[in-house]
Amino acid sequence: QVQLVESGGGLVQAGGSLRLSCAASGGIFIINAMGWYRQAPGKQRELVAVITGRGSTDYGDSVKGRFAISRDNAKNTVYLQMNSLKPEDTAVYYCNAGVVADRAIYDYWGQGTQVTVSS
C-alpha cells in the first residue's frame, strides 16, 4: 500500500522558517493532488495548502504570503516551505495525497509531524 512519510518538523522561534517534506512510496501509482493539513490541540483540522498534479496551488487564508507548497513528481514528494512562522502555526502537520487506482481516487495520509513555534 501507499505510505506517506513526513519530515522536517521541529521547534523554531517566531519569525523563523521550516521546510516540511512528504515522500510517497509503496508501489506503482499516480498521484493527483497533494496537500498539507494541520491540527492544533483543541482545534479542528484545517487545510494549509494544496497542489494539483499540474502544479496549481491554493492556500488557507491564514498562511497566504508566508507558506509555499511545491512538488517533485519524479520523487513523489511534496514540500511545504513555511516562513515568518507565528505561534499560531503550532500544530501537527499532515500530508495528504490522492492516489489514482481503478478509475477512482483514494486518500492517503501521513502520520504527521509536529511544528512548534515559540514566542
Rounded to an integer, the average pLDDT of 8-14 is: 98
Torsion angle, alpha carbons of 59, 105, 94, 47, to 10: 30
More confidently predicted of 101 and 9? 9
Instruction: List pLDDT tens digits, range 62-99.
Output: 999 999 999 998 888 999 999 999 999 999 999 999 98
Rounded to an integer, the average pLDDT of 88-112 is: 93
The pLDDT value given to residue 9: 97
How far from the centroid of its chain's Cα atoms is residue 53's Cα? 15
pLDDT bin (cut points 50, 70, 90) of residue 31 is confident
The pLDDT value given to residue 30: 80
* 28 has pLDDT over 80: no
Three-state secondary structure call for residue 89: helix
